[in-house]
Amino acid sequence: MIGIFDSGVGGMTVARAIEQCCPGYPFVYLGDLARTPYGSKSPAMITEYSHRNTDFLLNQGAKLIVIACNSAASTASTFLRNTYSQRIIDVISPAVARAVSVSETGKIGLIGTRATINSGLYEQRLQAARSDCRVYNQACPLLVPLVEEGWLGRRETKMIVKNYLRPLRDKQIDTLILGCTHYPLLKKIIVPRIGRRVQIIDSSVEVALHLKALLAADEKMRSELYCPEQSSRFFVSDIPAPVHDLASTIFGRSVTLEKTDV
């Protein structure tokens, strides 16, 4: 079983992409809604939450962990890899690889939480992968709460997205990384406001494609994780009112959420 965790419902975009790219590989999902958003927390707290989340998923039978939260990936991935023997995949590396391969000018924009932007990890990996790239960052602290509240099509959300994207548009970027797994839910708002010629890198899709490639190349991993008769499970540390509707929107079906403490 694959273990996937996020600070809230955004990581469900990763879970859905994995479900579509890797049929027959069940997962256990944990959304830490009681503590969302992670992006405004200190690195120490994000690392502590990530540690607890990983323990929970392993106790549920996960053999591989996907950090479906950019804030956690940028802050706690090194700690988790040093702490656990299980394979740990984060959403950052696949998005970086895709961005540097499609950008023609090397002018790459990144939107994310404060924790993700302040970590500098995306910028480090982008420049390591492509020395000529110029990275323009924009922290967007209001977007995760807006998504978690279900304000996907509200006028206020559109105005906030436009304001966040304006500095990146002024830099004439040709590629934009959605550095938070909540942001694919805002893609219909983001695309016209950044410009339709800008390549959008959805980290949810990229990590699913990365996992698919890993499975294709590793027979042992396939045998450990493939179990088509087993159903995926969804755990959350809190169940606020909008979460059921958001989960249904992401998966296109009703999703059973199990409350747990982590």
Range of the domain at 83: 2-90+205-259
Confidence (pLDDT) at 150: 87
Let me know whether 104 and 131 are in one domain: yes
Let me know whether 107 and 199 are in one domain: yes
Q: Total domain count for the chain?
A: 2
Catalytic residue selected from 22, 69, 133, 140: 69
Let me know whether 107 and 194 are in one domain: yes
User: Which of 157, 184, 203 represents a domain boundary (last residue)?
Assistant: 203
Let me know whether 79 and 65 are in one domain: yes
Let me know whether 81 and 100 are in one domain: no
Residue 241 has pLDDT above 80, yes or no: no
Q: How sure is the predictor about 9, in pLDDT bands with cuts at 50, 70 and 90?
A: confident
Average pLDDT, the chain: 94
Let me know whether 42 and 82 are in one domain: yes
Q: How sure is the predictor about 202, in pLDDT bands with cuts at 50, 70 and 90?
A: very high
Phi, psi of 206 (to 5 degrees): -65, -40
User: Which of 167, 186, 203 represents a domain boundary (last residue)?
Assistant: 203
Q: How sure is the predictor about 59, in pLDDT bands with cuts at 50, 70 and 90?
A: very high
Let me know whether 115 and 23 are in one domain: no
Let me know whether 104 and 15 are in one domain: no
Let me know whether 101 and 190 are in one domain: yes
- The pTM of the full predicted model, rounded to 2 decimals, is 0.89
Binding-site residue numbers for substrate are 6-7, 38-39, 70-71, 181-182
Query: Which tens digits make up the pLDDT trace of 116-145?
Result: 999 899 999 999 999 999 999 999 999 998
Amino acid occupying residue 57: L
| Distance in angstroms (rounded) separating the CA atoms of residues 39 and 246 | 20
Assess contact for 34 and 237: CB atoms under 8 A.
yes
Tokens of 155: 């006028």
Let me know whether 183 and 140 are in one domain: yes
Instruction: Assign 112 to helix, strand or coil.
Output: strand
CATH of the domain at 220: 3.40.50.1860
180 assigned to active site = yes
| Distance in angstroms (rounded) separating the CA atoms of residues 203 and 185 | 12
Contacts of residue 165, defined as CB under 8 A and 6 or more positions apart, other chains included, come to 111, 138, 190, 193, 194
Catalytic residue selected from 22, 133, 140, 180: 180
Residue 245 has pLDDT above 90, yes or no: no
Residues 168-188, mean pLDDT to the nearest whole number: 94
Let me know whether 235 and 255 are in one domain: yes
Confidence (pLDDT) at 49: 97
Residues 248-260, mean pLDDT to the nearest whole number: 92
Let me know whether 86 and 211 are in one domain: yes
Confidence (pLDDT) at 92: 93
